[in-house]
Every structure is written in C-alpha cells, then in structure tokens.
Amino acid sequence: MRLVSLFVIFLLIACTERDPDPPLTQKKFKTVYNEIMILESYYQMNFRNLNIYKDSLRKSVDGVLEAHNVTFEEFEKTYNYYSKHQENFQDINNDLIESYSK
C-alpha cells in the first residue's frame, strides 16, 4: 500500500505543470504597464464611455508596445503571469502608485 501511495505522489509531482517565466522582465513589464495605465486613465477621464475611445486607446497601446519592442502577446502573457502571482503584481502596483504620488 505504501508503494502505491508513493507512486501516486510521484505521479502527481511529475504531472504538475511548472509555471514558465514571463516573456518580459519585471522591470520592462513595469515600464510598459505604467505607460498603458496612464493612457487608460487619460482616456477614461476625458471620454468616460469605452465605446468612444476603445479604438483610439488600442492604437495608443500599440504605439507604446512598439516603442518598447514588445508584442501584445508578450505583454498579455506577462500580465497573465503576474495575475497568477499576486504578491509580485501587488509589488509592481505599489511601486507605480508610489511613483504617481511623487
């Protein structure tokens, strides 16, 4: 019985998928994320209705990504990574909030 239990434990460990590292470094992600958050805040404050500004915001975000040589897929994968790692994401957000208050 013990042997079966050990086999099941090893099988579960072997099948556990390791979360791959994000495509962007935390520093680069924070820089791009910061610019995107500022853009989104600007559009929300000035236009309020998503239907009015969504295409323009998308073009602006594409410009930020292009300026940093980042694809939307790289940004999205990194964002999803930090969404799963809330402590790290909270640290990034706290750093950005602190920088906005200066």
Kindly report, residue by residue over 48-98, the tens digit of the pLDDT.
Answer: 888 888 899 999 999 999 999 999 999 999 999 999 999 999 999 999 999
The answer as to whether 14 is a domain residue is no
Does residue 68 sit within a domain? yes
Tell me if 31 is assigned to some domain.
yes
pLDDT of residue 19 exceeding 80, the answer is no
Range of the domain at 47: 23-100
Is position 61 within any domain?
yes
* pLDDT at site 53: 87
Q: Which residues contact 34 (CB under 8 A, 6 or more apart)?
A: 96, 99
Number of folded domains that form the chain: 1
Q: Would 18 be classed as within a structural domain? A: no
For the entire predicted model, the pTM comes to: 0.78
**Range in 3-7, 13-17, 40-44, 75-79 the model is least confident about:** 3-7
